[in-house]
């Protein structure tokens, strides 16, 4: 039950959005037992964002939510993958990307909880 939300200043057309979704689906496997099969992705392009008081270059904030705990090793691997994906697909420098991880003990779906 992973969820990835990307907020970015960059323009993201349909082809780029699909490529990001596909690459995020591969990257989520950094976490044991997580696959694209249950991944939900939200892409919010062309946001007004400033990083260090500066909005002269594209910026991104990625929220990764997971059912269960998050290991440091898996999150470090995922951060590296996400930064590379954003660099390759949108030209965003890794030093303009934040990634936030949140683990949850309860996750609802289909009228119930896991």
Q: pLDDT tens across 27-81, in order?
A: 999 999 999 999 999 999 999 999 999 999 999 999 999 999 999 999 999 999 9
- Based on DSSP, count helices (H) and strands (E) in the chain, helices before strands: 2, 6
* Domain chopping of the chain, boundaries: 3-108
- pTM summary value: 0.95
- pLDDT of 83 reads 98
Quote the CA–CA distance of 95 and 82 in Å, as a whole number.
Answer: 12
Strands 60-67 and 3-8: antiparallel
Quote the CA–CA distance of 6 and 65 in Å, as a whole number.
Answer: 12
- pLDDT of 108 reads 94
Quote the CA–CA distance of 46 and 74 in Å, as a whole number.
Answer: 29
**CATH architecture for segment(s) 3-108:** 2-Layer Sandwich (3.30)
Tokens of 1: 């039950």
């Amino acid at each position: 039950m992973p969820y990835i939300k990307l907020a970015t200043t960059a323009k993201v057309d349909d082809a780029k959005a699909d490529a990001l979704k596909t690459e995020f689906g591969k990257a989520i496997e950094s976490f044991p037992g997580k696959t694209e099969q249950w991944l939900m992705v939200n892409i919010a392009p062309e946001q007004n964002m400033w990083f260090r008081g500066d909005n002269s270059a594209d910026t991104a904030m990625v929220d990764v939510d997971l059912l269960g705990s998050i290991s440091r090793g898996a999150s470090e691997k995922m951060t590296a993958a996400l930064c590379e994906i954003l660099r390759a697909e949108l030209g965003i420098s890794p030093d303009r990307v934040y990634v936030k991880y949140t683990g949850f003990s309860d996750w609802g779906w289909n009228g119930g909880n896991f």
